[in-house]
Amino acid sequence: MATTTAVLSAPRKRRQWRRTLQPYLYLLPALAVMAIITFYPLGYQVWMSFHEFSVKNIRVNNPEPAPFIGLENYVRIATSQLQIPNFEFVRLVLFNLWWALSNVVVHVILGVLIAVLLNTKGLLFRGFYRALFILPVVIPSIIVATVWRNMFTPDGGAVNYALQTVGSWFGLPATLPAFNLDWLRQPDDPIPFIPLPLAYFAMITANTWLGWPLNAVVATGALQSIPGDLYEAAEMDGASWWQKFRNITIVYLRPAMLPYAIYGFVITFNLFFLPFFMTAGEPFGRTEILVTQAYRLANDRQLYGVAAAFCVYLFFLLLIVTLITNKFAAATKSYAD
Amino acid sequence: MSTINDVRRGRDVTAYFRFGRRVGARRGEDEKPLPWGKQIVLQLILIFISFTVLFPILWIFSISVDPRGLFRPEGLNLIPPGATLAAYQKVLAQPTSNPISFIELMLNSLKIALGSSAVAVGLGVTAAYAFSRLKFRGREALMIGILGVLMLPSVATIIPLYVFLNQFRIEFGDLTFNLRASLVGVSLAVVSSQLPFAIWNLKGYLDTIPRDLEEAASVDGATQNQIFTRVVLPLATPAIAVTGFLGFLGGWTEYLTCFMFIGGTVSDWTLSIALNSMVGQYARNTPWSEFAAFAILFALPVSLVFFFFQRFLVGGLAVGGVKG
């Protein structure tokens, strides 16, 4: 008796082992690679952030060991005591948050309005417009950013020419200062009381061009899930266009748009391309965001330790942003599903 | 993190591309034509929006065919007088002041793009299968870890990767091979930011495939590996193609790592490095027509693929296909 159970259970045991081990075998290649080129560097970054780590610590011949300096890198960043002109940590963080928020609000509003417009029953050439409006999405971001930089050039840039053309319809001369703006470098703020440089408005213009189409795509998906009877019922009750939009469209769009808006916030918060290629932080580092500043610290200044501490700050900021937005999403969850 | 799930879960992002048709609604039944006045107003608004969308594209096209080699175009005109393709010829031969041709730049970009997307998808698909279909201890924790990395900007790993890869040096006499300063090193850094996305995107797709076929195969006595290679992989081909293309796009336009890791070696330059050197503070000697022609040649291949397969690609884009 005892021998037969042993004979039976051996292959079963092996099968059992296989069932527990197999998932890990499937995961192994990806996890091993991620451990080496993602998780280890992230840990190494934290180590670097506590050290005075610069170019002399990685040079080819006898690199020096990096001295431990505790939290000094963090303190230097938080108190804006870096050897970089125009570096102000608090201003940088506030600008970065405002940059993400203002963009997302504009993208979502435009995306929803245009999606509603395109969803109008009986509209001609709808397919043509939809195909056309996806163009900004299919062009690589680096090209979008460099082309907009070129368009905002003060001498011979497309934007100033467009302004001059529109101005000429109203009989205004092309030499008017308002039509010859130094968009990306003008040091004075265009609107008094609002501490945002002209370059910010140029950036948000370019990013709006780039950002609303995807929002329209997501909004269309939600719009088409609204039962048509609802509008008919509302019409019978004599609801106005605005009442229908507020009480039906918005309510149905919210569960799809809110998560996408939160996701868009994180993406825009980390959007490297525009501040880097379009304004290069001009004027005076005021359009720099955290990711571009971190890259500059490492690439231009070779302050690897400081840059590492900077990235740790970035990580915690993102964590806070994600937690707050998730709370926000959970609070409005009653609309969802 | 739930945000991505919501975007992924059932929200019909492809509805946008079903031109005008509504599910379950037959054309003509509830689509009565708009009153003319309203139709005209809406068309005017849409024509204006179309103009804003097309403006940068038309502008860059028009200066690319400008024959005058301008540093300062004069006014807006779609096709400038005496339009030529001379700028295209010039940038194909030698786009920057450095001795490297467009083809060489393209090959370098192509190596990074193909290498990194192949590795990311190849490694990602088995992991995605495990996350989507298999039960194991630590699944939740691992998925949160991967999602966390997915949300991080690529700048967050680039600095330690630079220092880390810089340690790998092989010397042959006078020649030194430094992993960091090579296309292989750049590709590794690109894989580092693309692998989490590949896993996540493929898992999202596998989750939507019904399990019936796999269960049938299992009843017929297929092993786990057979189910994976014979049933799941063929079914996942579209998702593999989409993830592969988005990865390719990321590698094709990668700038951060390229410039930081290999910026000093002109023979290893990529299209993105050359593009940025043609605009901005170091570009005083580049006529705008050449910059424009280069931008068009750089964008056209990937943009065309993207445009024609948009309905499959946009869904992936909405969950992090573009990482800043």
CA A320 – CA B36 distance, rounded (Å): 52
Sorting pLDDT into bands at 50, 70 and 90, what band is A61? low
For residue B30, the model assigns a pLDDT of 53
Query: Which residues of chain B does A147 touch, with a Cβ-Cβ cutoff of 8 Å?
Result: 56, 59-60, 292, 295
For residue A133, the model assigns a pLDDT of 92
The residue among B4, B5, B13, B16 with the most chain A CBs within 10 A of its CB, best to mutate, is B16
| pLDDT exceeds cutoff 80 at A337 | no
Structural Rg of chain A based on CA atoms: 27
More confident residue, A170 or B284: A170
For residue A70, the model assigns a pLDDT of 82
Among the partner-chain residues A45, A135, A217, the one whose CB lies closest to the CB of B13 is A217
Beta-carbon separation of B13 and A221 below 8 A = yes
> What is the average pLDDT across A263-275?
89
Which segments in chain B show pLDDT lower than 70?
1-32, 69-75, 280-285, 315-324
More confident residue, B19 or A320: A320
CA A143 – CA B300 distance, rounded (Å): 11
Query: What is the least distance, in Å, from the CA of A24 to any CA of chain B?
Result: 8
Weakest mean pLDDT among A16-20, A35-39, A277-281, B87-91 = A16-20
Mean pLDDT (chain A, rounded): 85
| pLDDT exceeds cutoff 80 at A76 | yes
For residue A257, the model assigns a pLDDT of 85
pLDDT tens, residue by residue, A105-130: 999 999 999 999 998 888 888 889 98
Weakest mean pLDDT among A186-190, A302-306, B170-174, B316-320 = B316-320
Beta-carbon separation of B155 and A291 below 8 A = yes
Query: What is the least distance, in Å, from the CA of B146 to any CA of chain A?
Result: 9
Q: Does any CB of chain A come closer than 8 Å to the CB of residue B274? A: no
Beta-carbon separation of B317 and A137 below 8 A = yes
State the distance between the two ends of chain A, measured CA to CA, in whole angstroms: 57
Query: Which residues of chain A does B71 touch, with a Cβ-Cβ cutoff of 8 Å?
Result: 156
Query: What is the least distance, in Å, from the CA of A314 to any CA of chain B?
Result: 8
- Counted across chains A and B, CB pairs separated by less than 8 A come out at 315
Q: Long-range contact list for A95-99, CB < 8 A, 24+ apart?
A: A95/A286, A95/A287, A95/A288, A95/A289, A96/A269, A96/A289, A96/A290, A97/A269, A98/A196, A99/A200, A99/A203, A99/A204, A99/A268, A99/A269, A99/A289
For residue A252, the model assigns a pLDDT of 86
pLDDT tens, residue by residue, A226-236: 888 888 899 88
Among the partner-chain residues A146, A225, A294, the one whose CB lies closest to the CB of B155 is A294
For residue B56, the model assigns a pLDDT of 93
Instruction: Give the residue on A whose Cα is nearest the Cα of B198.
Output: A30
Sorting pLDDT into bands at 50, 70 and 90, what band is A266? confident
Instruction: Give the residue on A whose Cα is nearest the Cα of B11.
Output: A221
Among the partner-chain residues B4, B127, B136, the one whose CB lies closest to the CB of A30 is B127
Q: What's the one-letter identity of residue A297?
A: L
Tokens, residue B2 = 């739930």
What ipTM, to 2 d.p.?
0.85
Cβ–Cβ under 8 Å, residues B100 and B239:
no
**3-state SS record for chain B:** CHHHHHHHCCCCHHHHHCCCCECCECCCCCCCCCCHHHHHHHHHHHHHHHHHHHHHHHHHHHHHCCCCCCCCCCCCCCCCCCCCCHHHHHHHHCCCCCCCCHHHHHHHHHHHHHHHHHHHHHHHHHHHHHHHHCCCCCHHHHHHHHHHHHHCCCHHHHHHHHHHHCCCEEEECCEEEECCCCHHHHHHHHHHHHHHHHHHHHHHHHHHCCCHHHHHHHHCCCCHHHHHHHHHHHHCHHHHHHHHHHHHHHHHCCCHHHHHHHCCCHHHCCHHHHHHHCCCCCCCCCCHHHHHHHHHHHHHHHHHHHHHCHHHHHHHHCCCCCCC
| pLDDT exceeds cutoff 90 at A82 | no
Beta-carbon separation of B55 and A255 below 8 A = no
Q: Does any CB of chain A come closer than 8 Å to the CB of residue B37? A: no
Query: What is the least distance, in Å, from the CA of B151 to any CA of chain A?
Result: 8
Query: Which residues of chain A does B126 touch, with a Cβ-Cβ cutoff of 8 Å?
Result: 26-27, 29-30
Among the partner-chain residues B34, B146, B169, the one whose CB lies closest to the CB of A123 is B34
The residue among A18, A24, A135 with the most chain B CBs within 10 A of its CB, best to mutate, is A135
For residue A241, the model assigns a pLDDT of 86
CA A184 – CA A118 distance, rounded (Å): 34
Longest dimension (CA), chain A: 106
Beta-carbon separation of B20 and A308 below 8 A = no
Beta-carbon separation of B16 and A221 below 8 A = yes
Beta-carbon separation of A272 and B19 below 8 A = no
More confident residue, A211 or A280: A211
Query: What is the least distance, in Å, from the CA of A235 to any CA of chain B?
Result: 15
Sorting pLDDT into bands at 50, 70 and 90, what band is A21? confident
Beta-carbon separation of A135 and B54 below 8 A = yes
Beta-carbon separation of A121 and B31 below 8 A = yes
More confident residue, A260 or A216: A216
**3-state SS record for chain A:** CHHHHHHHHHHHHHHHHHHHHHHHHHHHHHHHHHHHHHHHHHHHHHHHHCECCCHHHCCCCCCCCCCECCCHHHHHHHCCCCCCCCCCHHHHHHHHHHHHHHHHHHHHHHHHHHHHHHCCCCCCCHHHHHHHHCHHHHCCHHHHHHHHHHHCCCCCCHHHHHHHHHHHHCCCCCCCHHHCCCCCCCCCCCCCCCCCCHHHHHHHHHHHHHHHHHHHHHHHHHHCCCCHHHHHHHHHCCCCHHHHHHHHHHHHHHHHHHHHHHHHHHHHHCCCHHHHHHHCCCCCCCCCCHHHHHHHHHHCCCCHHHHHHHHHHHHHHHHHHHHHHHHHHHHCHHHCC
Query: Which residues of chain B does A138 touch, with a Cβ-Cβ cutoff of 8 Å?
Result: 302-303, 306-307, 310
CA A247 – CA A236 distance, rounded (Å): 15
More confident residue, B21 or A322: A322
